[in-house]
């Protein structure tokens, strides 16, 4: 399974999906019991959290230019990520090669299949969930996105079969120093997607306030599309 995960990481990275992190489903479920993932009837179950840094932008925009069907979709980035991940999962874990049973859950899915990928990032030890509600990676800071959680019919590595949580990613800094005034101004508990689109520069300021990972900040077009979904950002 370790070699298959490494092969999946290599294949996805070629398409810009350069973060693949194993975790225990049971560790995730302990953090988000109301949004539990299936355990495949195992006491310890492997999941893979898949995401991306700014590395996604160039492969995605190239695909958008070259594949007319993406240009007709309401959410071409979500489709690009889901199709890429599904293709590579089937290639590596599908029934054609004896297979491993798996189920993929996508970031934008509505209930009842919605999972909390930020909590999965915490359970995986991938990132710290800050008071800003941004996940902070120790290298990339807030400059990454989460795309899917894949549950496999296999044991989680390194937990002795117990489903225990890994060591958590520590807080990278004191959020009260730079972020808290912006958090207070935005009143994050009241935000909606429409509000984010309308006031996206305020939300960007919150991301920019984090001192971690600034060298990995998204480019201008990627930032604008991330917050607004404006199509001209895909060809600028």
Selected residue with higher pLDDT from 15 and 98 = 15
CA distance 20 to 17: 8
pLDDT of residue 223: 97
Residue 229 has pLDDT above 70, yes or no: yes
Q: Which two tokens stand for residue 3?
A: 């070699």
- Pick the closest to residue 217 from 120, 148, 140 (CA basis): 140
pLDDT tens for 102-137 read 999 999 899 899 999 999 999 999 999 988 889 999
15 confidence band (pLDDT: 50, 70, 90) = very high
Mean pLDDT of 9-23: 97
So what's the pLDDT on residue 157?
80
Among left, alpha and beta (phi > 0; psi -120 to 50; other), residue 187 is: left
User: CA–CA distance from 63 to each of 5, 73, 226 (Å)?
Assistant: 25, 13, 17
Cα(203)–Cα(224) distance, integer angstroms: 11
Residue 50 pLDDT > 60, yes or no?
Answer: yes
Tokens encoding 83: 């199709």
> What pLDDT, on the 0 to 100 scale, is given for residue 236?
77
Q: What's the predicted TM-score (pTM) here?
A: 0.92
| Distances from the Cα of 72 to the Cα of 69, 194, 197, 221, angstroms | 5, 22, 21, 20
Angle at 118 between CA 113 and CA 124, to 5 degrees: 100
Give the pLDDT of residue 99. 82
Q: Which of 113, 110, 118, 106 lies closest to 142 in space, CA to CA?
A: 118
pLDDT band at 80 (very low <50, low <70, confident <90, very high): very high
Sign of the four-CA dihedral 137, 144, 107, 105: negative
For the chain, the average pLDDT equals 89
More confident residue, 222 or 188: 222
- pLDDT value at residue 18: 98
Q: How confident is the model at residue 164, as a pLDDT?
A: 54
* SS3 (DSSP) at 19: strand
Q: Taking residues 200-229, what's their average pLDDT?
A: 93
* Gap between the Cα atoms of 229 and 52, Å rounded: 17
What's the pLDDT score for residue 169?
73
The predicted structure's pLDDT at residue 190: 62
pLDDT at 188: 61
Residue carrying structure tokens 């919150």:
206
23 class by beta-carbon count within 10 Å (0-12 exposed, 13-18 middle, 19+ buried): buried
Structure tokens at 111: 């209930």
Per-residue pLDDT tens over the stretch 52-65: 999 999 999 999 99
The predicted pLDDT at position 213 comes to 95
pLDDT at 12 over 60: yes
The model's pLDDT over 148-182, given as tens digits with 9 standing for 90+, comes to 999 999 999 875 555 555 557 777 777 777 788 88
Residue 191 has pLDDT above 70, yes or no: no
């Amino acid at each position: 399974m370790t070699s298959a995960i490494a092969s999946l990481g290599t294949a996805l990275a070629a398409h810009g999906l350069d973060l693949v992190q194993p975790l225990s489903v049971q560790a995730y479920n302990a953090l988000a019991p109301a949004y539990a993932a299936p355990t495949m009837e195992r006491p310890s179950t492997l999941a893979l959290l898949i995401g991306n840094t700014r590395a996604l932008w160039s492969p995605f925009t190239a695909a958008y230019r070259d594949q007319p069907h993406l240009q007709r979709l309401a959410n071409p980035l979500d489709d690009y990520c889901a199709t890429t991940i599904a293709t590579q999962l089937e290639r590596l874990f599908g029934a054609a090669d004896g297979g491993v049973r798996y189920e993929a859950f996508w970031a934008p899915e509505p209930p009842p299949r919605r999972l909390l990928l930020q909590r999965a990032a915490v359970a995986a030890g991938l990132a710290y969930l800050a008071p800003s509600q941004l996940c902070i990676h120790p290298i990339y800071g807030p400059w990454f996105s989460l795309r899917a959680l894949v549950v496999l019919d296999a044991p989680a590595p390194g937990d002795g079969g117990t489903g225990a949580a890994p060591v958590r990613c520590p807080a990278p800094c004191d959020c009260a120093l730079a972020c808290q005034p912006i958090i207070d101004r935005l009143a994050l508990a009241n935000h909606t997607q429409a509000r984010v689109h309308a006031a996206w520069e305020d939300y960007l300021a919150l991301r920019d306030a984090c001192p971690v990972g600034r060298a990995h900040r998204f480019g201008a077009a990627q930032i604008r599309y991330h917050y607004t979904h404006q199509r001209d950002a895909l060809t600028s």
